[in-house]
Amino acid sequence: MKKRSCKWSWWTILFVSLLLIVLDSNSYAEKEASAATGEAEAYVSYELLGEPEYVGAEKCKDCHWREFDSWKHTLHSKFMQEANEFTVMGDFGRNNKLTVKVTRKAPKMARSKTTSTMYKKDGKYYVNTIGPDWEFHDYEVKYVIGVNREQSYVTIFPNGELHVLPVEWEIEETKWEDNRGLEKHYPGNGKYWSDAGRSWQFACGSCHVTGMKINYDRASDSFNTTWTDLGISCEACHGPGSNHIQVAKTLFDKEKDTIINPAKLPWKLRSMVCGQCHNWGASAAKVTPAKEGFPEKYAFAYGYKVGQPLYLFYDEELDDEKKHHQQYNEWQESAHAKAGVACTTCHGVHQEGAHKSPHKSQTKYIADSLCTNCHASMTRKSAHRIHTFGSCIACHMPKSKGHEHSHTFEFVSPEESIRAGGVDKKPNSCSGCHHHKDTPLEALVEFLDAVKKKDMPVPFSVHGR
């Protein structure tokens, strides 16, 4: 009996072992199938997320807090802010009046003088000035634009239409200037500050806030405009982030597919991300719904999405009236653009530059060190020989008409100022220097010709003039 019992025990052990193997095999297959199903479901949900929506920079901060913190030091983050004692830089107390002579073209008050008054009351800021009905009104300042060269002030009309008030504070000169007021325009001419054609929602909006929806209702002639962030925030350059956040919580290997990193775009498309605001022209799309007095087109690239070709949404319009932040247009004409030197080659976005100090142009190196970082083999010939103490930027990026520095990176000869009718019409690379600011243009041209000839082999005449 003992021998037989032993025999059955071995068979029992063998049977149980085989059974366990089979059961484990089935269990493994079920787990694999379940995992595959889960991945398929997750993939399907990733594919069916739909159009992403704007969520705001604070949501981005949850993961990208370093980038968020350094971005807060940039001018982009402060491009438009709510009006309060820490953001208003204009003098609303002492030097708080601006008197202008009314344009002779005005049908009323022509050549007379009128005064706008800026004041503060109960913690709020106001501008008393002439509105669309030729009468003085008190307009509350709701938002401020700019903290660098000048500061403008935005008010809200009863129908929700936003307008930039006709006074501008010049920060460097600490004085008030007319800003589309009666000095050059008048109510109803289409360019006066309170005209429908100057509505902030059509003329400025998308380049001052992120995720703007105009929400104009023609039936009630009213605006219910919304935005996600004041200023130029994360999603202005990376695209709306709702899908990115949702996928990052579950599918870590897919999160990069749901957001755009401009640094990884082809260089032309990368620069177009900057060009959506740093441009000179008007949208390809017409303003809809239309209303009498509204502009025909938006002043920004309406409908543009990060990563798309900008030229499909924006038309270049070389009109001095619209010349504002034209760096992208000028860069396109430059040798830099042809060589693939993009905006982000020279400018940082999140970081405060190699010197770790925030400054207005956000360049990666300070002044000439940025240029010589690439142009290390520049020869000391011609004008370069006599300007060893000078500046690459002063000569190759002179201030153009307006506030910005030229981004063609070409030397602008005094001859161009002569042809244009003066330095005020066309600034050049020489007259901007304090040493040459009063030098006659003809004398500067002759001096440059002499410098070029001195570098030529003798006799220089065989090489032409």
Question: Would you call 126 helix, strand, or coil by DSSP?
Answer: strand
Task: Determine the Cα–Cα distance for residues 445 and 465; give it in Å rounded to an integer.
Answer: 12
Task: Determine the Cα–Cα distance for residues 127 and 137; give it in Å rounded to an integer.
Answer: 8
pTM of the entire structure? Answer: 0.81
Q: In a structure prediction context, what are the per-residue pLDDT tens digits for the chain, which is 465 residues long?
A: 444 444 446 666 555 566 555 555 555 444 444 444 444 344 435 556 788 999 999 999 999 998 898 888 888 999 999 999 999 999 999 999 999 999 999 999 999 999 999 999 999 999 999 999 999 999 999 999 998 889 999 999 999 999 999 999 999 999 999 999 999 999 999 999 999 999 999 988 889 999 999 999 999 999 999 999 999 999 999 999 999 998 888 777 778 888 999 999 999 999 999 999 998 888 999 999 999 999 999 999 999 999 999 999 998 776 655 566 778 888 998 999 999 999 988 888 876 544 455 567 788 887 788 888 888 877 777 777 677 666 888 888 888 766 678 888 888 888 888 998 888 888 888 888 877 888 888 888 888 888 777 776 555 444 444
Among 381, 384, 379, 378, smallest CA distance to 457 is for 381
Q: What angle do CA 396, 403, 306 make, to 5 degrees?
A: 85
pLDDT tens digit string along 348-405? 887 654 445 556 778 888 778 888 888 887 777 777 767 766 688 888 888 876 667 8
Question: Would you call 333 helix, strand, or coil by DSSP?
Answer: helix
Q: What is the dihedral of CA 400, 404, 407, 413, to 10 degrees?
A: 20
Q: Six-digit token pair at 274?
A: 């900057």
Q: Which amino acid would we find at residue 70?
A: S
Among 436, 377, 375, smallest CA distance to 409 is for 375
pLDDT tens digit string along 375-388? 887 777 777 767 76
Question: Would you call 13 helix, strand, or coil by DSSP?
Answer: helix
